Chain A
């Protein structure tokens, strides 16, 4: 992550894209694809470097009328980091 960016960003090794035919967000990489479930897609589409993790949680809670999503988001981001889907 660049010093100017407060939050996580999808790695340059992957391309995040909405696929109408699959009704899903997907991560594309050389000769491969990860089809994301709805919550993974909703989190990753917000990982553009401009939002902090807390801001992502707040947006999701607002968008889906939910609360207490912080742990779920943190767990997913930890997995996404381990998979190198996101940078920092």
Chain B
């Protein structure tokens, strides 16, 4: 193929994200799982997942993340990790630590699990208090000890938002105290549940700048002892992120019901039929399905992206954000200040500055709220 509109033949799906379940003991108001998760079809069986792992590995996948929901809720997790390890995957478990006992940690180690990413997440509904909540800290401490005992690298992740960003010093100190070697401070991205709660979760510019400054001070203080990654929220940028490093370029997500997606939120996009691993093999999904080919290359782009000198750099940003904010999945990501819909982002920031909407109650992720939202009851 040639010409400006041709989608280049993609490389292999290097990253497989296996979302094993939407079940989760937590109720995070910033969860990226779809708001209608409770109406999702039955979970894939163990055999289905084993086949997906084999097919993905044969197609060239090498990093495998087990996620959810809370993946510890699946009692076949150890079986899946063992097969992924046997196949030559580098295996990552993304967990809140709830449900991880010393016995299961030892079984996961024996199965060949390479890495656990432990999230600081709120185990209570008292978001404001979660840092001082001893139960949360006790849990993290127990899990951190298990991670060390099994010789895994200690990688922690914390989603940062308006309600916890002012405590970033305490978050970093807690990570250091728990022996974290890596800490990812991931500013909330506004999808799914986080979009519902955006007015309550979006920090002000002043909060953000303070948090970055403090993070830099801690980097200097601790040096190599802990590597801190600070992921800036894209709403405060003027150019969009190169979402998923390109649509259908590296990432393959398989949702609990077997839907294959180019990113974990793409199911929201209208007019796209995504294949299911129960009906189609991974190689065919990746190279041939309409869902994965739609936004590859730049043939789908409209103005201002189509003639933008930076289009290769960000590939027009995030398709989901374009759909959520501008109502068109082929539009420029409204984070870009060249987008005609950019005012929607700056207006959200202005509301954050004024603190509008912050008195509204948070909508917490739980099955009852999900069913209400799926039924359009808001």
Q: Which residues of A contact B (CB under 8 A)?
A: 13, 15, 17, 19-22, 26, 28-33
Identify which of residues 52-74 in chain B touch chain A, using a CB-to-CB cut-off of 8 Å. 59-60, 62-63, 65
Decide: B59 and A21 in contact? CB cutoff 8 A.
yes
Determine the distance from Cα of A41 to Cα of B50 in the docked complex, in whole angstroms.
31
Assign chain B's interface to a size class. Answer: 10 to 19
Determine the distance from Cα of A43 to Cα of B362 in the docked complex, in whole angstroms.
54
Decide: A13 and B117 in contact? CB cutoff 8 A.
no
Decide: A30 and B14 in contact? CB cutoff 8 A.
no
A-B contact pairs, 21 of them (CB 8 A): A13-B153, A17-B62, A17-B90, A19-B60, A19-B62, A20-B60, A21-B12, A22-B11, A22-B60, A28-B114, A30-B114, A30-B115, A30-B117, A30-B153, A30-B155, A30-B182, A31-B63, A31-B65, A31-B92, A32-B63, A33-B90
7 nearest A-B pairs in the assembled complex, by CB-CB distance: A21-B60, A28-B90, A30-B115, A21-B12, A30-B155, A31-B92, A30-B153
CB closest chain-B residue, reference A15: B90
**B357: Cβ under 8 A from any A Cβ:** no
**B88: Cβ under 8 A from any A Cβ:** yes
B-chain residues with CB within 8 Å of residue A22 when the two chains form the complex: 11-12, 60
CB closest chain-B residue, reference A21: B60
- 1/0 per residue B94-116: CB within 8 Å of A? 00000000000000000000110
**A13-B153, A15-B114 given as contacts; is B92 within 8 A of A33 (CB)?**
no
Query: Shortest beta-carbon distance, B230 to chain A, in Å?
Result: 16
B-chain residues with CB within 8 Å of residue A32 when the two chains form the complex: 63
**A15-B90, A31-B117 given as contacts; is B182 within 8 A of A26 (CB)?**
no
Determine the distance from Cα of A22 to Cα of B13 in the docked complex, in whole angstroms.
11
Determine the distance from Cα of A33 to Cα of B62 in the docked complex, in whole angstroms.
9
B-chain residues with CB within 8 Å of residue A29 when the two chains form the complex: 90
**A17-B88, A26-B62, A28-B62 given as contacts; is B14 within 8 A of A33 (CB)?**
yes
Query: Shortest beta-carbon distance, B61 to chain A, in Å?
Result: 8
A-chain residues with CB within 8 Å of residue B92 when the two chains form the complex: 30-31
CB closest chain-B residue, reference A18: B88
